[in-house]
Amino acid sequence: MAKYTIGVDFGTESGRAVLVDVADGREIASAVYPYAHGVIDEHLPIPSKEIRLEPDWALQDPEDYIRTFQNTIPAVLRQSGIDPKDVIGVGIDFTACTMLPVKADGAPLCTLSQYREHPHAWVKLWKHHAAQPEADIINLTARRMGESWLDRYGGKISSEWFFSKVLQILTEAPEIYAAADRMIEAADWVVWQLTGVETRNSCTAGYKAIWSKREGFPDSSYFSALDPRLANVIDEKMSRRITPIGQRAGNLTSQAAAWTGLPPGIAVAIANVDAHVAVPAATVTEPRRMVMIMGTSICHMVLSKEEHIVPGMCGYVEDGIIPGLFGYEAGQSCVGDHFAWFVENCTPAAYQQEATARGIDIHQLLEEKAARLEPGESGLLALDWWNGNRSVLVDVNLTGLLLGATLATKAEEIYRALIEATAYGTRVIVEAFENNGVPINELVGCGGLPEKNKLLMQIYADVTGREIKVTASNQAPALGSAMFGAVAAGKAAGGYESIYEAAQTMAHLKDVVYTPISEHQQVYNLLYDEYLKLHDYFGRGENDVMKRLKRIKTEQVLKNT
Amino acid sequence: MAKYTIGVDFGTESGRAVLVDVADGREIASAVYPYAHGVIDEHLPIPSKEIRLEPDWALQDPEDYIRTFQNTIPAVLRQSGIDPKDVIGVGIDFTACTMLPVKADGAPLCTLSQYREHPHAWVKLWKHHAAQPEADIINLTARRMGESWLDRYGGKISSEWFFSKVLQILTEAPEIYAAADRMIEAADWVVWQLTGVETRNSCTAGYKAIWSKREGFPDSSYFSALDPRLANVIDEKMSRRITPIGQRAGNLTSQAAAWTGLPPGIAVAIANVDAHVAVPAATVTEPRRMVMIMGTSICHMVLSKEEHIVPGMCGYVEDGIIPGLFGYEAGQSCVGDHFAWFVENCTPAAYQQEATARGIDIHQLLEEKAARLEPGESGLLALDWWNGNRSVLVDVNLTGLLLGATLATKAEEIYRALIEATAYGTRVIVEAFENNGVPINELVGCGGLPEKNKLLMQIYADVTGREIKVTASNQAPALGSAMFGAVAAGKAAGGYESIYEAAQTMAHLKDVVYTPISEHQQVYNLLYDEYLKLHDYFGRGENDVMKRLKRIKTEQVLKNT
């Protein structure tokens, strides 16, 4: 009798469930739930009152996550026609650090009427960028105190991460901080909702909350230096019991069974992060092969047997991706988002009309036109910082730059320049790893972009000078979660002993390989040199114009509100 | 009995005639002829054969100029209902340097079948930018030989000017150079077509062809150093008889009378340049008031009693604008063109739809949205070099830059940043004049933009910190030409003795004054500092990335052709 697991992938705009055959990883059915409240970045979704958010805020509604379970799991069961009793486990993955303050029983503060109108009571999405001042304090204090863990994170803690967000809540809304019994990753929170048990996964703890297997969390003295009220934040609001990924978090409660139509009691895996869980789903369980999860942003994941300090990386965590190896993470905060922005804000009406007339997507039309250009032919060069820089500069206050425009510049040329800029950004990351002892021979792409944009994949191969393969699944994180669901269920229930075993049968690559074209590489090497020069000039303090402009902007926006 | 003159203004895309009452400058009628072949920058307009042009080329068809006379003058006569016998003179003004090779009888080489397929036989429009290598040689040679005239042109001869274009013809098409009996400004050529007499005006000779009243042209030894075949270019292809502006070139021929419906024999003024002729039409015949002719580009004109060296200016010419004064010229090569480019290439479909639905122009919609922003609120900063920099860097190989974009950046923010960038460009020019002995107290705007875009005018006032007035006429060059037509006709025929006299009755300002808003000035002072820093970094050799990208671009384009 065939056995199945379900992986649920919580993305930025929607949640997706995939029902997978444990024997071979075949995806039997999938369903998507677009969050009713999406990304909340203008005002709270409260009908009674207009509560506006400041710039750089990005929130979510935790009830959208429950609705994801309620909508997608019944849908995949229905579509597949299988007997729900043959589902042996569930795994989930989430964007991170996406976190929320909750009560001891798990109730999010924003669902309680007394806190509902307070923005700090809501889920802070990964791309909530308003905690930069707090990140600055965290970094300055760590440097001042000589905290050894700082090197594990490339020398910088991001404003996107857990303690930056916690410190922002404490500073700006101490009453919310006080009211919160727990501060928790949304990843762990949804597992709690499925199992009734609060657990904390090693992946988000390691990558986003300064935890390591060998050293645990920073000392109380460090937290106390940030703010005396934070001294016992771990014991008061979090937990020192961190469970390694690949473990079972608990069993599905009858309430969750009622939401989903699944049998109560089946295995639920410890939570994972979307990017990290995609690595084994991309067949990668060994060093030297970098996985790129390419969607609104890119996460770069690579494994190594040794511990290395790589400046400006997001972090490395022992057992963070695959047990027994160090998992290194880097990222670019704006890739698919970039092209979406361009299409929405900069594509002329004539192009929209042409796409409509030909019955194709506007991205397709732009890709087609951009593909006719030679590298360097547009004369354009961009810095891909429309959403800041995550690696290797780790600075959300950097902004986008386009250089080389003339009166003959066309939309497809800008579009191509933006793609190229993100490819240069990836090359900076690849070279930072290589120059610091983490070699990379091959890239494996997964996520929405490799599926949608062949030009982009070829440009990445040309710019990085490396072959790129593509995962067979176009929903690798969900597949990876389903794989961890099978590991959580265990061999006895029809699953697997380990993620290595699961990867061997459940993960596959496509036949397609993108190979660098040497003529293109030559031109891109010249352009990359120019990119690097601008990257360092604007990114490493020689001209901080981007930050000064951002400061003026913030002042002007505040003046008007 | 009322007397009239006609001014014909030859622009970049079209020619315009205005019929003016000599008594008070009232514009009785006007008509526009859009050139059949417009700006020729992709391939020659020859049906039989596809002859492509290289990047940076910009040509015109001289027959479009004749068609301008044939279409517009009969139209204004018809519209006005006046008796053509009451028209006492015609004046013309032209873009410059716009030049062409012709035979001794005035026939343009491109109209002769044996040369028609040769791009170098056509009119080179002012914005033909392919003669930069020749301009570089002209400048290097002049510096090496210590030519004193170089200082009159801010230390640099532009690729747009006469001898850069001549040298390009000689270098790339010696057979065209040899076949040309005359090399002539299109301004002088159209006057030749009206009068049957070849004349050369002091304005284009002075500003574009290195001539001065006191020193004449550079020596033969200099031309010979450029290329031995150029040694006698003045005597072989041009003329040393330069006629001051304000003079009569000749009388209307019967052929030209037949084209236009005007009486044969009436006065035709010596040719003038569109920007320069607008100065008296803007009421300016004295120092300290800068005239800005604001259209596709901006020309800045200011008068002074003394001779000053202003680095990076386009030039100064004694009697070049107003007899008795030194006329200083500076310019920005991309202003209205910039916004047109933006609207055509970067404005999203939704905005076009909104404009259409509301029955307004898309520029109007963008202006309206951009006007709601505070200075600095967008966080954007641009360098206005989409068409190179004419003053003070004098470098066509500079390109546009936009900095500060985020995923929240909207089209109107970019639009406003482009307007602001051109305002900073004007401030650089104003400050260069002031720092070198040519004070500027007030700005007077004329041309299409002041009429169309009030936001732009306010931003220019805020950025420059100066009051801006606006000419009453929205076709100042044509009015100026009509004024010079009245001067050419002379008092006896019902015209004027001098341009001073004509300006007193025929030129007027609007009531509107744009006054700097001090709150805006404060923010713009901060942003201007940032602009200057980027201006110098990219424009003065610290990082020549724009030029290197242009070189790569040219190589890639050539590879494909």
Domain positions in chain A: 283-334+435-475+510-514, 339-422+522-559
Nearest to A348 among B338, B344, B553 (CB): B344
What stretches of B325-448 adopt beta strand conformation (E)? Answer: 326-332, 381-383, 400-405, 442-446
Q: Reduced to 3 DSSP states, what percent helix, strand and coil does chain A have, rounded to the nearest 5?
A: 45, 20, 35
Joined together, the tokens standing for residue A358 give 């030909």
Spell out which residues of chain B touch residue A344, defining contact as CB-CB under 8 Å: 348
pLDDT in tens, A223-234: 999 999 999 999
**A381 CA to chain B: closest CA distance, Å?**
8
**B336 CA to chain A: closest CA distance, Å?**
11
Joined together, the tokens standing for residue B412 give 């109107």
Burial grade of A526 (CB within 10 A; 0-12, 13-18, 19 or more): middle
Give B201's contacts (C-beta < 8 A, 6+ positions apart): B185, B187, B188, B191, B242, B243, B245, B270, B271, B272
Q: Is A344's CB within 8 Å of B347's CB? A: no
Query: How confident is the model at residue A455, as a pLDDT?
Result: 97
Exposure pattern of B184-195 as b/e (b: 16+ CB <10 Å)?
bbbbbbbbbbbb
Exposure pattern of B150-179 as b/e (b: 16+ CB <10 Å)?
bebbbbbbbbbbbbbbbbbbbbbbeebbeb
Q: Is A439 helix (H, G, I), strand (E, B) or coil?
A: coil
pTM reported for the whole predicted model? 0.84
Q: Is B399's CB within 8 Å of A381's CB? A: no
Spell out which residues of chain A touch residue B552, defining contact as CB-CB under 8 Å: 376, 379, 523, 526-527
Dihedrals phi, psi of A220, to nearest 5 degrees? -55, -35
CB B468 within 8 A of CB B514: yes
Residue of B nearest to A349 (CA): B349
Spell out which residues of chain A touch residue B536, defining contact as CB-CB under 8 Å: none
Q: Is A405's CB within 8 Å of B387's CB? A: no
Q: Is B545's CB within 8 Å of A557's CB? A: no
Give strand pairing partners of B19. Answer: B6, B29
Burial grade of A210 (CB within 10 A; 0-12, 13-18, 19 or more): buried
Q: Is A402's CB within 8 Å of B405's CB? A: yes
Categorize the per-residue pLDDT at A92 as very low, low, confident or very high, splitting at 50, 70 and 90: very high
Q: Does CATH number 3.30.420.40 belong to domain B339-422+522-559? A: yes
Joined together, the tokens standing for residue A513 give 């390989």
Give strand pairing partners of B269. Answer: B248
Mean confidence (pLDDT) of chain A: 95
Query: Which of A42, A35, A27 lies closest to A10 in space, CA to CA?
Result: A35
Spell out which residues of chain B touch residue A347, defining contact as CB-CB under 8 Å: 348-349
**A521 CA to chain B: closest CA distance, Å?**
13
Nearest to B523 among A346, A381, A552 (CB): A552
Residue of B nearest to A351 (CA): B349
User: In whole angstroms, how far apart are CA B24 and each of A490, A557, B27, B496?
Assistant: 98, 50, 9, 12
Round to whole Å and give the CA distance between B73 and B76: 5
Query: How confident is the model at residue A483, as a pLDDT?
Result: 98
Rg (CA), chain A: 23
Dihedrals phi, psi of A356, to nearest 5 degrees? -60, -45
Residue of B nearest to A378 (CA): B553
Round to whole Å and give the CA distance between B184 and B237: 8
Joined together, the tokens standing for residue A173 give 């809304």
Round to whole Å and give the CA distance between A6 and A479: 8
Round to whole Å and give the CA distance between A91 and A152: 28
**A405 CA to chain B: closest CA distance, Å?**
5
Nearest to A526 among B346, B408, B552 (CB): B552
Query: How confident is the model at residue A312, as a pLDDT?
Result: 83
Q: Is B376's CB within 8 Å of A533's CB? A: no
pLDDT in tens, chain B (561 residues): 899 999 999 999 999 999 999 999 999 999 999 999 999 999 999 988 899 999 899 999 999 999 999 999 999 999 999 999 999 999 999 999 999 999 999 999 999 999 999 999 999 999 999 999 999 999 999 999 999 999 888 888 989 999 999 999 999 999 999 999 999 999 999 999 999 999 999 999 999 999 999 999 999 999 999 999 999 999 999 999 999 999 999 999 999 999 999 999 999 999 999 989 999 999 999 999 999 999 888 999 999 999 998 888 888 898 889 988 999 999 998 999 999 999 999 999 999 999 999 999 999 999 999 999 999 999 999 999 999 998 899 888 999 999 999 999 999 999 999 999 999 999 999 999 999 999 999 999 998 899 889 999 999 999 999 999 999 998 999 999 999 999 999 999 999 999 999 999 999 999 999 999 999 999 999 999 999 999 999 999 999 999 999 999 989 888 876
CB A158 within 8 A of CB A299: no
CATH number of the domain located at residue range(s) B283-334+435-475+510-514 in this protein: 3.30.420.40
Q: Which residue has the tokens 């170098």?
A: B120
Query: Mutation test of the interface with chain A: which of B552, B557, B561, choosing the one with the most A Cβ atoms within 10 A?
Result: B552
Sheet containing A509-514: order of strands: A315-318, A326-332, A298-304, A289-294, A442-446, A468-471, A509-514
Spell out which residues of chain A touch residue B57, defining contact as CB-CB under 8 Å: none
Q: Is B543's CB within 8 Å of A533's CB? A: yes
What's the one-letter identity of residue B418?
L
Spell out which residues of chain B touch residue A387, defining contact as CB-CB under 8 Å: 406-407
Query: Mutation test of the interface with chain B: which of A384, A406, A553, choosing the one with the most B Cβ atoms within 10 A?
Result: A406
Round to whole Å and give the CA distance between A93 and A482: 10
Neighbour count for residue B306 (Cβ, 10 Å) = 9
Spell out which residues of chain A touch residue B402, defining contact as CB-CB under 8 Å: 400-403, 405
Nearest to A406 among B400, B403, B537 (CB): B400
Q: Is B553's CB within 8 Å of A405's CB? A: no
Q: Is A374's CB within 8 Å of B556's CB? A: yes
Query: How confident is the model at residue A561, as a pLDDT?
Result: 64
Q: Is A345's CB within 8 Å of B409's CB? A: yes
**A357 CA to chain B: closest CA distance, Å?**
14
**CA angle, residues B304, B310, B314, in degrees to nearest 5:** 90
Please determine, for residue A38, whether its predicted confidence score (pLDDT) is greater than 80.
yes
Burial grade of A181 (CB within 10 A; 0-12, 13-18, 19 or more): middle
What's the one-letter identity of residue B313?
M
Give strand pairing partners of A400. Answer: B405
Judge if A283-334+435-475+510-514 and A339-422+522-559 fold alike in CATH terms: yes
Most distant CA pair in chain B, distance? 67
Spell out which residues of chain A touch residue B556, defining contact as CB-CB under 8 Å: 374-377, 523
CB pairs under 8 A between A and B: 175
Query: Which of B409, B352, B350 lies closest to B381 in space, CA to CA?
Result: B409
Which runs of consecutive H residues, i.e. helices, occur in A331-472? 336-346, 349-358, 362-371, 411-434, 448-452, 454-464
Round to whole Å and give the CA distance between A416 and A420: 6
Round to whole Å and give the CA distance between A17 and A37: 19
Query: How confident is the model at residue B515, as a pLDDT?
Result: 98
Nearest to B533 among A337, A545, A556 (CB): A545
Query: How confident is the model at residue B561, as a pLDDT?
Result: 64
Nearest to A407 among B341, B533, B557 (CB): B341
The H or E element containing residue A513 is: strand A509-514
